[in-house]
Amino acid sequence: MFMNEEDKNLYESLKAHLEGNYEHFISELNSVRAGRANPRLLDKVMVDYYGTMTPISRMANISAPDPRTIVINLWDISMLREVLKAIQASDLGLNPSDDGKSIKLYVPAPTEERRVELVKMVKKFAEDTRVNMRNGRREVLDEFKALKKNSKITEDDLAVAEKEVQKILNSYTDKVDKTLMAKEKEIMEV
């Protein structure tokens, strides 16, 4: 198949769409508390920082000195109360404690029931990601069909393009599946 610039652009836009979906999936997984202290748990917690909603990671050093503790060392100590409020208001279910200089979060091991809920949640993230990826495939295939309709590519070129698009999609859905299995394993570990 002769691949012109328009074909290359379609493949590249599909890859960019799929990569964006995969990166979003990874960020969703990182926000799931699997029983281990992970500074990324706080990525979605926003704090009113002098009138601007700001993620905690942009206001502090966040570390996990052991598997059950997250320590937040704020650069601006005057924001301590605001950060405490934001963590308590979040859906993380963590109870922060502070010593006036830093904030500590103790991450309890989830119960069996909670781990099952978390697995269901990450499976839903994976399925939503796969659906978005399939939508991207459909859009690119529609563009290839429009090229065929306008006689810019042949029927054979369209068949080759459909196979190539499916191959690209399969590689990304395989990545999602492998990442999902690893996260499930991590969640179910006691």
Q: What CA dihedral angle connects 19, 140, 173 and 17, to 10 degrees?
A: 20
Output the CA angle 46-49-54, nearest 5 degrees: 35
Tens digits of residue pLDDT in 23-50: 999 988 887 766 677 788 888 889 988 8
Q: Which residues contact 135 (CB under 8 A, 6 or more apart)?
A: none
- What is the average per-residue pLDDT within 57-66? 89
What's the pLDDT band for 93 if we cut at 50, 70, 90? confident
Q: Which domains does the chain possess?
A: 5-30+111-188 (1.10.132.20), 39-106 (3.30.1360.40)
Structure tokens at 90: 């979040």
**pTM for the full predicted model:** 0.70
CA distance 111 to 34: 10
Structure tokens, 172: 């990304």
CA-CA distances (angstroms) from residue 170 to 4, 27, 94, 164, 182?
23, 21, 38, 10, 18
Helix or strand holding residue 37 (H, E): none
Show the tokens assigned to 41: 């748990």
Tokens 């836009």 — which residue?
13
| Residue range 149-158, pLDDT digits in tens | 998 888 999 9
69-74 and 102-106 strand pairing: antiparallel
Portion of the chain with pLDDT greater than 70, in percent: 96
